[in-house]
Structure 1
Amino acid sequence: MIRVGLKDGITDPEGANVKKSLELLGFDNIVGVKTSKIFEITVEELGEEKAREEAENMCKKLLANPVIHSYEINIE
């Protein structure tokens, strides 16, 4: 699983809209909302080290823009 989200300090308009909508629905304790994308990618059995390397390459080449995104990789 790869989770891609905006880096701290980058404005998240979608998260702000969700927060505002939740508050309008009566959810008053919300401090903040951040959005992210989760990619569940199934690959052939590679071993954990090789799978992590492949996932890193996927993020660097396509899934994440290093200027605005951070990402987290979880190999299962």
Structure 2
Amino acid sequence: MLFDVNVVIKLKGGMLSPEAKAISHALSSLGMKSEYLNTAKFFEIGIDAENADAAKAKAAEMCERLLANPVIHSYTIEVKKA
């Protein structure tokens, strides 16, 4: 069965993000101040699995082995039937 899996990967709290800092600074220079700004990566993945739990487990393995660095990143996984 095919599942649509959405994965969001972001830096853990306390980690510095030069990209977010640069974007925040640029917005501020345009007169659009924000209290905070974070960036994240979003992945849409089609996973063939027996059930939603198996699809989520496959996505978690993808995150742990390649998509994220577990030391500095956190991630969320949402599974929907295709």
| TM-score between the two structures when normalised by the length of structure 1 | 0.92
Show the counterpart of 1:41. 45
Show the counterpart of 2:20. 15
Does 1:24 pair with 2:32? no
* Deviation of 1:11 (Å): 0.2
More strand by share: 2
Number of residues of Structure 1 aligned to a counterpart in Structure 2: 75
Unaligned runs of 5+ in 1: none
Taking only aligned residues, the RMSD between alpha carbons, in angstroms, comes to 1.0
Match of 1:6 among 8, 11, 14: 11
* Deviation of 1:45 (Å): 4.8
Unaligned runs of 5+ in 2: 1-5
Find the residue that maps to 1:8 and give its secondary structure: coil
Aligned-residue identity in percent = 37
- How far apart in 2 are the matches of 1:46 and 1:2? 19
